[in-house]
Amino acid sequence: MPPTTPPSSPQPALTAQAVEVTYANGHRALQPTSLQFTQGQFTVLLGSSGAGKSTLLRCLNGLVRPSAGRVTAPGLGDITGARALREHRRQTGMVFQQHHLIGRRTVLDNVLTGRLGYHATWTTWLPWSRAERALALTVIERVGLLDRALDRADQLSGGQQQRVGVARALVQSPRILLADEPVASLDPATADRLLALMHGICKSDGLTAVVSLHQLDLARRFADRIVGLQAGAVVFDGRPDALSHDMAARLYAPPPPPPHAGASHGAAHFCPPEGVLT
Ligand SMILES: Nc1ncnc2c1ncn2[C@@H]1O[C@H](COP(=O)(O)OP(=O)(O)O)[C@@H](O)[C@H]1O
Ligand SMILES: [Mg+2]
C-alpha cells in the first residue's frame, strides 16, 4: 500500500477565546464564547433577533472590545492593540445589511473607499493611484457591475448596491470576510444570487468567511459550518447536515427572559471603524 500523507491540519484564521460582551447598560449580549474559524471556511451564524450575532461579528473585527476574553489572529495576536487592530481591519472586509454607500458618488468611488485602510489620513486628499483604480475596476467586474462603474450608487437597485458593498470589501484584498445579514434587505431570488456570488468568491480566493443570516435554507446550502446562537450563547456548532429540525426551531424560538444583569466591571467599548467617511 502506498504511504499516505496526512492531510495538513486546517490553519486557524481567527480565534475567539472566552469572549464575553456586557454592554455599558449592563446587558450581557455574549456569554463566554470560544470559537476558532479555520482558513477558507464559510461559517454562517444563525439565531433570532437579539441572539448576539452582530455583537460576535463586531468583536471579530474589533468594532466592539470584549469585556473579557480575547480575539486573536495569526501573526497579530490579540487584535485589540492599536497596531494589531489597524492591521486586522485592513485584512478583514466587512459587509453590512445597510451598505452605507455614498449615494451621490459613483460605484467606483464607493468601492475605492475600501482602500482607505491602506492610506495615512492625509493621503486621502490625493487622487487614487492608477493601480488602485485598476484593482477597484477588477473587483467591480467580479461582482458583475463593470458597466455601472461610473453611475451614481443611488441609481442602482438594492441587490446591485449590496454588490458594491461586497466589492468595497474585496478591494481591501482581505483574508477574512465578515458579513452581518448581507441579504436581509433583499428579495429571496436576489438574496440567493448575492450569497452565491459571495460564497463563490470566498471559495475561489480562499477567504475565511463569517456571515450572519436569517434564512435557514441559505445557511444549509452555503455553509461549511453553522454556529447557532441563542441569548448570547452558542447552542449549535457543526455541519449543516447535523442541524436537526428541533435545533433549528429552537434557534428561532422566542429568547428566554434575560437573567438579571448587574452593571459590569468591564463593559464593552465601542471602537468606531477607521477610515469611515462621515
Ligand atoms: N450597544 C448596545 N448597548 C446595549 N445593548 C445592546 C447593544 N447592542 C446590542 N445590544 C443588545 O444585545 C443583544 C444582542 O444584540 P445583537 O448582537 O445585535 O443581536 P443580533 O445581531 O443577533 O440581532 C440584544 O439584546 C441587543 O438589544
Ligand atoms: Mg444583528
Residue 79 lies in a domain: yes
Q: Tell me how far the alpha carbon of residue 26 lies from the centroid of ligand 1, in angstroms.
A: 11
In short, whether 55's Cβ falls inside 6 Å of ligand 1 is yes
For ligand 1, pick from 19, 20, 23 the residue to mutate: most ligand atoms within 8 Å of CB. Answer: 23
User: Residue 57 CA: which ligand 1 atom is closest?
Assistant: 17
pLDDT (tens digit per residue) in 49-58: 999 999 999 9
- pLDDT of residue 272 exceeding 80, the answer is no
**Confidence at residue 273, expressed as pLDDT on a 0 to 100 scale:** 43
- pLDDT of residue 201 exceeding 90, the answer is yes
In short, whether 25's Cβ falls inside 6 Å of ligand 1 is yes
Residue whose CA lies nearest to ligand 1 atom number 16:
52
- pLDDT of residue 34 exceeding 50, the answer is yes
- The mean pLDDT value of the chain amounts to 88
User: Residue 48 CA: which ligand 1 atom is closest?
Assistant: 22
In short, whether 29's Cβ falls inside 6 Å of ligand 1 is yes
**Ligand in nearest proximity to the CA of 264:** 1
**Confidence at residue 248, expressed as pLDDT on a 0 to 100 scale:** 92
Highest mean pLDDT among 92-96, 99-103, 270-274: 92-96
pTM: 0.88
Bigger pLDDT: 261 vs 122: 122
**Residue 87 belongs to what domain range?**
12-100+175-254
We report the CATH number of the domain holding residue 75 as 3.40.50.300
pLDDT band at 9 (very low <50, low <70, confident <90, very high): confident
Residue 124 lies in a domain: no
User: Residue 212 CA: which ligand 1 atom is closest?
Assistant: 21
pLDDT (tens digit per residue) in 153-172: 999 999 999 999 999 999 99
Total of domains in the chain: 1
Residue 277 lies in a domain: no
Residue type for position 243: L
Q: What is the rounded distance in angstroms from the CA atom of residue 48 to the CA atom of residue 89?
A: 27
In short, whether 47's Cβ falls inside 6 Å of ligand 1 is yes
Q: What is the rounded distance in angstroms from the CA atom of residue 13 to the CA atom of residue 8?
A: 15
Residue whose CA lies nearest to ligand 1 atom number 2:
23
DSSP secondary structure code for residue 146 in this structure = G
Q: What is the rounded distance in angstroms from the CA atom of residue 14 to the CA atom of residue 31?
A: 18
153-158 long-range contacts (CB < 8 A, ≥24 apart) are: 153/101, 153/102, 153/103, 153/104, 153/105, 153/106, 153/107, 153/110, 154/101, 154/103, 154/104, 156/107, 157/190, 158/185, 158/186, 158/190
Q: What is the rounded distance in angstroms from the CA atom of residue 115 to the CA atom of residue 79?
A: 20
User: Residue 21 CA: which ligand 1 atom is closest?
Assistant: 12
Residue 39 lies in a domain: yes
Residue type for position 66: P
Residue 167 lies in a domain: no
Q: Tell me how far the alpha carbon of residue 52 lies from the centroid of ligand 1, in angstroms.
A: 6
Residue 83 lies in a domain: yes
- pLDDT of residue 256 exceeding 90, the answer is no
pLDDT band at 11 (very low <50, low <70, confident <90, very high): confident
Q: What is the rounded distance in angstroms from the CA atom of residue 199 to the CA atom of residue 192?
A: 10
Residue whose CA lies nearest to ligand 1 atom number 11:
29
What average pLDDT does this structure show over 67-94? Answer: 94
| Closest C-alpha to 111, from 165, 176, 161 | 165
Residue 166 lies in a domain: no
- pLDDT of residue 260 exceeding 70, the answer is no
What average pLDDT does this structure show over 95-111? Answer: 92
- pLDDT of residue 92 exceeding 70, the answer is yes
Residue 262 lies in a domain: no
